[in-house]
Amino acid sequence: MSERKQIRRALISVYEKSGLVELGKALADAGVEILSTGSTAKTLSAAGIAVIAVEDYTGFPEMMGGRVKTLHPRIHGGILADQENPDHIAAITSHEIAPFDLIVVNLYPFSQTIASTDDFAECIEQIDIGGPSMLRGAAKNHGSVAVISDPSQYARVHEAIKVGGFTREERTELAMETFRTTAEYDMTIATWLGERIDRSDDWRAKVWQRIAGLRYGENPHQVASVYGEPGSKGIAQAKQLHGKEMSFNNYTDADAALRSAFDHSEPCVAIIKHANPCGIAIASDITLAHQKAHACDPVSAFGGVVAANREVSAAMAKNLSEIFTEVVIAPSFEEAAIEILSKKPSIRLLTIDGYSIPREELRPISGGLLIQGSDLVDAHGDDPTNWKQVSGSPVDADLLADLTFAWRAARAVKSNAILLAHDGASVGVGMGQVNRVDSARLAVSRAGERSKGSVASSDAFFPFADGLQILIDAGVVAVVQPGGSVRDEEVIAAAQSAGIAMFFTGTRHFSHA
């Protein structure tokens, strides 16, 4: 299995030319006969590398703007012949076909084309046919042929030339990588065509690539890894500057923290513990936002994950350094902030470039997958100018600003969610309860005296007036909620009786998971 197979004859046909000349020279210096096509042959010839043009070998010219050039029995016979099968060797010999030992092909840039133009004809021309055919043929016949599908693999060819060729194990690995390449290529084309004819919902395909193995999952007995989706800019693509390796729970909490912080346009800090916020705040600068977020629940913030939607300042870092924190993630850190926080060996410091909240959520279930549009805060009902005030006197700008903040912040809280806020900061959070009354009690108990004069948001309607009454009794002065309960009039009457302002948004931000 480890015996190496010498490279004597190669076919090279590539769109991406990086590293091509160096590869061609190495093969030529090793005495390898090279066949090539079109611009690839011209590039190699211009560099003084001996090349046999494919049309000279097949006796058939390129046609239809290059659509047909390698689709020929003399090419595919040489690719597909099992060189250990006497019948195959006899067949190609009788037709004067020589076998290949190496196929080097990379594909037309379909993904880049559809990202840069809506010209249908131009996109269609970037659907490669000959390339995938050669790649798949060589990958199928990897017992005889080594196949290279990406310039990043050229270093392996250089090494193979030095040591006498590829082993079967190496050819098998290259074949696997090739089938992954062609599968992703076809998947991209199928998805693009489906979107053009409104058939994108009946079939879904995505590719995730393994980034790293994790020590374990949510618990030590669970195996776990982290995978990334190519082209995405999320927590999986964050760059770690310092600290211990990320854990499964670090990733889930950091993802929730990012979404919480980036729900707000003002400088914002979110502190997350077990996927729920123990503090969210906005302010004129990021240091003050962190101070206000931490003040919400300092006990729960111990061992939490902190996300900021602005650069972490040295002043914020100094405050953070006095609190046990698992992860800090932000677009960037001041150099002094890194220096301060790096004195703590375990804290994980991550930067994320160009983050935006995903537009779609995928949730595995047994035997399948649930897909939904993300619950974003830019819907019609999230604009306070579209809210309906159903009780109380008109509110001033400051109180409305607090209600707007509370409504946005509640989206980050697991249902049933009640969030109390004052001066752009959460002061009490009730989350994850099986009824809204318990969530109201939890929010009030965590806020304590800060409940008085605060505002409250509820991610879904109050089914009865009892939950609202708990907030009223604690001193809440205004409430925002979706409305829509069959008992809305009962709830409105309770608010009217207490003299508090209540707004209906008509939009719900209920979150189960």
For position 311, which CATH number holds? 3.40.140.20
Q: Cα separations (Å) of 421 from 188, 385, 429, 439, 476?
A: 45, 20, 9, 15, 9
Residues 32, 137, single domain; the answer is yes
Q: Which residues of 312-350 are buried (b: 16+ CB within 10 A; e: fewer)?
A: bbbbbbeebeebebbbbbbeebeeebbebbbeeeebbbb
Residues 285, 165, single domain; the answer is no
Residues 45, 179, single domain; the answer is yes
CATH number at residue 192: 3.40.50.1380
Does 416 sit behind a cis peptide bond, omega within 30 degrees of 0 on the bond before it?
yes
Residue 502: helix, strand or coil by DSSP? strand
Helix (H) or strand (E) holding 469, with range, is helix 465-474
Domain count, the chain: 3
Q: Is residue 452 part of a domain?
A: yes
Strand (E) positions, 288-335? 304-308, 325-330
- pLDDT computed for residue 512 by the predictor: 82
Q: Residues with catalytic annotation?
A: 140, 274
Angle, vertex CA 166, rays to CA 160 and CA 170, nearest 5: 115
Q: Is residue 468 part of a domain?
A: yes
Residues 300, 401, single domain; the answer is no
| Cα–Cα nearest to 327, from 298, 302, 306, 342 | 306
Q: What residues in the chain have per-residue pLDDT under 70?
A: 1-2, 63, 65-66, 69, 379
* Residue type present at position 225: S
Pairing type for strands 368-373 and 360-365 reads: antiparallel
Q: Is residue 358 part of a domain?
A: no
Q: Is residue 460 part of a domain?
A: yes
Residues 18, 146, single domain; the answer is yes
Q: Is residue 323 part of a domain?
A: yes
Read off the tokens for 123: 């996109």
Domain carrying residue 435: 380-504
Residues 191, 262, single domain; the answer is no
Question: Are the C-beta atoms of 143 and 168 separated by less than 8 Å?
Answer: yes
Q: Judging by beta carbons within 10 Å of its beta carbon (0-12, 13-18, 19+), is residue 457 exposed, middle or buried?
A: buried
Q: Is residue 271 part of a domain?
A: yes
Residues 330, 455, single domain; the answer is no
Residues 37, 174, single domain; the answer is yes
Residues 334, 389, single domain; the answer is no
- Helices within 345-457 (DSSP H only): 397-410, 436-447
Residues 53, 178, single domain; the answer is yes
Residues 319, 412, single domain; the answer is no
Q: How many Å apart are CA 66 and CA 152, to the nearest integer?
A: 25
